[in-house]
Homo-oligomer: A and B are copies of this chain.
Amino acid sequence: MALSLIFLLFFIFTTTIPTTLSNPIFFTTKTYQSLIQTKSPTPKITYKTQFFPQHLDHFTFQPKSSNIFYQKYLINSQYWDEGPQHRAPIFVYTGNEGDIEWFASNTGFMLDVAPKFQALLVFIEHRFYGESLPFGKDSSKSAETLGYLNSQQALADFAVLIRSLKHNLSAEASPVVVLGGSYGGMLAAWFRLKYPHIAVGALASSAPILQFDDITPWTSFYDAVSKDFKDASLNCFNVIKGSWDELQAVPTQKEGLLELGRTFRACKDLQSIYSVRDWLWSAFVYTAMVNYPTQANFMMPLPAYPVEEMCKIIDGFPQEANKLTKVFSAASLYYNYSSTEKCFDIENGTSAHGLNGWDWQACTEMVMPMSCSNEGMFPPSTFNYKDFSDQCIKKYGVTPRPHWITTEFGGDRIEQVLERFGSNIIFSSGMKDPWSRGSVLKNISASVVALVTQRGAHHLDLRFATKEDPDWLIEQRRQEVEIIQRWIDEYHSGYK
């Protein structure tokens, strides 16, 4: 199951690749699938799997009482013991766009801290992902079914499930803390804002809740990726920046593509230069996201600080060498760190997945405009809402609602709004992660705080602790534990 997860997660990124080089790659998914199918991590799950009967639509009441689906969740009560009697806390991961096992296996933080808190651990799968499919295998078949896939329905799912679970465990008096990373972090933060009566606090890791409308500059994401590479090596940055023109100059006749295919060790003859561009693009962006300080296997197996490693590869070539050769070698670190690939399936003709969930969400509510500036290492581009909208209409028949998320959840002037409203949210970020730019990076109030590390990457803090963890990461997690402990203590002291 986990194979499809990264594929899904990928859409966070792919839907925002600017449509450059005159060939829109928006919605092109073919390049990446085969890689995912061979490289996904094996989840280590120590959870019991449960299913919960959930309302298909929380916000429209329909006569058919049969409109329920079974939502998957994982539960671990090994440290909970007599939790209800002690009002011990419940930590809930607000699942995002993928199989819940995958998030559980990449959110070791919860298992690491559970003994200290004697916490019950729960991971709730997001509707329309993993096995939580309201219409079974037809769930993503059409807009008619996908209509029920959105963040507000997901938050309501969490609320209903948590309330029911507490009731069934006689744990009504136990405080709930929600945690999540990436889109799951956005959901955790929004859940605390919308359901403060259910969660006493939220740890929102790498949660770009400000990546909407024009709150965050549209160029910031790719500028941040570029900065990661520039910080590692100016030469590396310049090589990548120059490589796109070299790629563009490849003759598109058969001979040119054949030669390009040889350079990139393509398993099959290439049909287009754009698949190579996408292949490179993804390697750089994902590597920046998972530029972890230790060896890890989130998207792909990678060494510690993989951006630096990529740049060492590029810098190791003679200055005069072909730029495409250099970037191919760098990208190979991402795609083939374990040296198991004899060739790369750069163009994968068809997607076995059909329509998918995140694509739908991006075409309806999750409109995150992005563009590439002249200063970055990617080809300059702008975000054209009209083109974006046209493609969504063409694909699903839906018109995006680009201002809906900020209407429903806010974001504009968030400091001013949350300075006097709300409490108990940690926004944790690592500045190496390009998504950090759309997150909350400064303390807003005494209890709505930002924990930012300069060298951290995409929800690094939520990963299992390792012996190699640097001090700044240990300190970030220590602060998180301290703050969560404070929420729980406050809850208990105010319990009447």
Q: Tell me the A residues contacting B by CB distance below 8 Å.
A: 57-63, 65, 143-144, 146-148, 150, 152-153, 156, 159-160, 163, 193-198, 364-365, 396-399, 401, 403-404, 406-424, 447, 490-491, 494-496
Contacts and interface: CB of A to CB of B under 8 A. Distances in A.
A146 B62 CA distance: 8
A83 to B, nearest CB: 19
A417 B197 contact: yes
Contacts of A414: 197
A124 B91 CA distance: 40
A196 B422 contact: yes
**Quick one: copies of this chain in the complex?**
2
A416 B495 contact: yes
Contact of A61 (B62, B147, B416, B447): B147
Contact of A59 (B150, B422, B423, B447): B150
A398 B364 CA distance: 29
Given A197-B411, A407-B159, A408-B156, A420 B490 contact: yes
Contacts of A422: 196, 421-422
A186 B278 CA distance: 51
A60 B409 CA distance: 16
A471 B185 CA distance: 51
Contact of A416 (B401, B406, B447, B496): B496
Given A58-B59, A152-B59, A421-B423, A163 B65 contact: no
A365 B61 contact: yes
A311 B412 CA distance: 56
Contacts of A150: 59-61
What are the 8 tightest A-B residue pairs by CB atom distance, in nearest-first order? Answer: A197-B410, A63-B397, A59-B59, A196-B421, A61-B364, A63-B143, A60-B147, A197-B417
B57 A60 contact: yes
Contact of A398 (B61, B147, B153): B61
A432 B496 CA distance: 29
7 contacts: A59-B59, A59-B60, A60-B148, A65-B398, A197-B410, A198-B407, A416-B495
B65 A399 contact: yes
Contacts of A409: 197
